[in-house]
Structure 1
Amino acid sequence: MFKLLIAEDVKIVRETLVNAINWQALGIVLLGAVENGEEVLDWLKHEEPDLLLTDIGMPKMNGLELIEAVKSRKPDIRCIILSGLNEFEHARQAIKLQVLDYVLKPIDPEAIEKVFVNAVEVLSKEREERHALTIAEQAVKEKLPNLTEALPHVAWTGSLKKKKLVEQAMKVVKEGYTRKELTLSDVAAAVGLSDKYLNLLFKEVTGVTINHAIIRLRMEEAARLLKDPTIKIYEICDRIGYTDQDHFRESFKKQYGLTPTEYRNKFL
């Protein structure tokens, strides 16, 4: 079973999504249906859904901003957009944010069911691949001592190759982390690897995912800029690739234990 969270500000649409679809029959547990992006972010503090279905046009934080915020916190959550705004610009932004699918209003339960049948198939395949990868890695680890004794040069070459690939990825991240649109897919394409494999490799070598590395670099640059009182905080937010000041404030406090303003005041 996969866990789903819904974000939709229109009550009648929200209730239709909850009641008109047999989520359990689709292999989905519906965690809840909330009114806005802030409530979604509150949910993420105590629960991690596998899927997020979100409207685009919502108060406080639109669906695209919400997806960006969710991805920065929980990169593995797959997102599906629900909207009556059949515009190319929204679809283009959604592709950049690696949205799994795009559903248009008015609500058609059958169409939504088809989208989620496909989503469950995608997630099931990914779960199976992760499981197979874990088993394969464990098998390699069990055989590694013998291989190292017999073929030390081969073992070292494999390790070196991984480090070189991660170094290339880190170079791409360092050169582009201030770009608002920088994604895992961009970095993976630059080094010629799949998103999933690069993220696994990067975490194996560095201990963090690509997205976490981007956030860390952004926060370090923000800390440096905050020491200059002539630069406004909203300017720093823009310089390091954030579109939402609240999101920037939360990310900064998570890393440094202080809000940007509190951090700046230490140096005045």
Structure 2
Amino acid sequence: MHNKNNDLQTLLIKKKFKLAHRLHISIYVQGACLNVVVEIFWRTEKNMNEQKVLIVDRNSCVISTLCEYLSDELYDVFTARDGIAGFKTLRSEKIDLAVVDKDIRDLDAISLLTCLKVEQIQTPVLIMGGRERLELMERMLKLGAAGVLDKPIRKDKFLAKVKKYMPSQDWIKRSLESFLEAHYSDPGLNFDDLMAHFGFSRSHGCKLFKKHVGKTFSEKLREIRVAQAQRLIKEPSIFVYEIASACGFRASNRLREAFKTIHGMPPTEYRTKVMRGAIQSSSEDV
């Protein structure tokens, strides 16, 4: 666990209770037992989702509020009370997004942006502040700030900005899809197998899968199985029932239904059209 400001310890404890509830962990208040159990899942969650947000503001209340806004999101939050501490964090950690107050101490926002430019640190930076000093804000944007957040900060606008400027997490999508691509031929494969592999509960896993893959588990598994069947269907010597079995379908009719849903025709018709040249045959087909 990273060192947080002392005034955030209570917030972090609350966040662990929220996580325990979200992962459906049974809560037994027996000394430090709860903290140990939740800590295991807390670290597991962060290992699976390592996007890091840095909040830099001299006001501890602002920091606490923004951390609370992010408490239900899958981010690892770092904090700093001044520009120098924030810059050190940006140099030592791979921060994905920094949210910085324009009036931070020791190293102001303009100087911080300048240092990041010199050090070639590519972290997107959102500047917090009012629009009363428009010239200053425009100068910060020219120095590379990704955007501006007006104070007081509303939760919905804050989360929208964070999601807009947060770099994509394609590696998580690849990890989830790689598991399906490695096990799609198992007709008994289900969502619980995926969650057991990554160590998540169903509720948390559904949220994670939908967020990064953009589809449900069943939809993505069907897509992968049909893609594999599409490659095999071009071989006239392989029977449809053999393709169905090889691709994880329990029966030929399951393959036909899934194939028609995606391609608008059953596999036998698709094969005929490929053989007649009506459909381009390519190893790149998905």
Tell me, yes or no, whether TM beats 0.5. no
Band of TM-score, shorter chain:
0.3 to 0.5
How does the TM-score come out when normalised to structure 2?
A: 0.39
Greater helix proportion = 1
